[in-house]
């Protein structure tokens, strides 16, 4: 699975869990996406996990700042 496909899954998961309808850009952080709170964060990660067949350590995701960081984390996870 390439980076773009992973990015699409992440974006879809973010929208699914936050109901966010605005533009999403890789440079954005969770704070910039309305509805992305600590509970939504866990659901976003679980949903990405479900689609990618991964089981990422949640603590690793707390150390990401932007959506781009999250994409890179999952790109490494599926390798």
Instruction: Map the footprint of another protein across residues 7-26, applying CB under 8 A.
Output: 16-23, 25
78 touches another protein (CB under 8 A): no
How many angstroms separate the CA atoms of 44 and 51, rounded? 11
Beta carbons of 25 and 3 less than 8 angstroms apart: no
77 touches another protein (CB under 8 A): no
Stretch 41-60: interaction string toward another protein, x if CB under 8 A: -xx--xx--x--------x-
CA 13 to chain centre: 7
Q: Which is nearer to another protein, 12 or 47 (CB)?
A: 47
C-alpha angle 39/5/62, rounded to 5°? Answer: 30
Residue with tokens 């936050």: 18
Under the rule (CB under 8 A), what is the footprint of another protein?
A: 16-23, 25, 28, 31-35, 37-40, 42-43, 46-47, 50, 59, 62-65
């Amino acid at each position: 699975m390439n980076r773009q496909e992973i990015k699409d899954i992440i974006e879809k998961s973010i929208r699914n869990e936050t109901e966010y309808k605005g533009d999403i850009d890789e440079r954005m952080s969770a704070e910039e996406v309305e509805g992305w709170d600590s509970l939504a964060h866990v659901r976003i990660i679980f949903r990405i996990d479900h689609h990618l067949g991964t089981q990422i350590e949640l603590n690793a995701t707390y150390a990401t700042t932007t959506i781009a960081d999250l994409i890179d984390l999952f790109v490494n996870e599926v390798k």
